[in-house]
Amino acid sequence: MGRPPTNTKLRLLETAHELIWRNSYGAVSVDGICEKANVKKGSFYHYFPSKADLAIASIDWWMTNTIPFLDDIFSPSRHPIDRFTLLIDFIYEKQEDMRIEFGQVCGCPFITLGSELAAQDEVIGAKISAITQQKMSYYENALRDMIAMGLIDKNADVKLKAEEIYAFITGNMMLARIKNDLKFMKTSLKPSLMNLIGVQLTTEDLKKLTI
């Protein structure tokens, strides 16, 4: 009974995510999102109580979409070093796709939005912090496997190292966005990350790490 659901809400989530990622929260208007999503403003406010709510919902939606990829990349069946190299591949490819399509390296949508809004809205700060924690738990898991395999120092502080890795990758994505340049990410991020993690690689191994 009643009129069935449509994909309007999804279109709003997708459009908002893309526009905010490419530009910024402040530079994107509700009118702009509606126009691009081909949705009238009344419909927008039928689905979301405010612009801020849409932004939060869109990052939730994006994280939900991302988890299956992370589960694949960080599958316990993979060699833990491969998990990290695959992660960098995954990040790089998405960034390069967007650079080609939009002419702009877009960086991490969570961090960019979080950095912009953390001081204005503590809900978004908490949300992004939780996502950060969630991503680091993948890293911790892999690091523990690396310890078990004798690949890194068995006394390494796994939580600390995961935080270092996250900060390092995040910092690189941010700089890539600002410089609109993926050179470092393409040629140096993998070996630098391996060095940070503390894995000893042969020169031959190192050569393979450029994307």
What is the contact surface with DNA in residues (CB under 7 A)? 1-6, 8, 28-32, 39-46, 49-52
Closest to 188 in 3D by CA, of 206, 162, 203, 165: 206
Q: Tokens 């979301």 map to which residue?
A: 48
> Residue from 188, 199, 201, 211 that binds a second copy (CB under 8 A)?
188
Identity of the amino acid at 98: M
Chain centroid offset of residue 161 CA: 18
In this structure, are residues 32 and 42 in contact, taking their beta carbons and an 8 Å threshold? no
Minimum distance from CB of 127 to DNA (Å)?
A: 17
Minimum distance from CB of 32 to a second copy (Å)?
A: 13
Tokens coding 31: 């009118």
When the beta carbons of 14 and 164 are compared against a second copy, the nearer one is 164
How many residues sit close enough to a second copy to count as binding (CB under 8 A)?
45
Give φ, ψ of 140 to 5 degrees: -60, -45
Query: What one-character DSSP code corresponds to residue 50?
Result: S
Residue 25 interacts with a second copy (CB under 8 A): yes or no: yes
C-alpha–C-alpha distance, residues 77 and 146, integer Å: 13
Residue 22 interacts with a second copy (CB under 8 A): yes or no: yes
Residue numbers of the site for a second copy (CB under 8 A)? Answer: 22-27, 104, 106-107, 111-112, 114-120, 122, 125, 128-129, 132, 160, 163-164, 166-172, 174-175, 177-180, 184, 188, 192, 195-196, 198
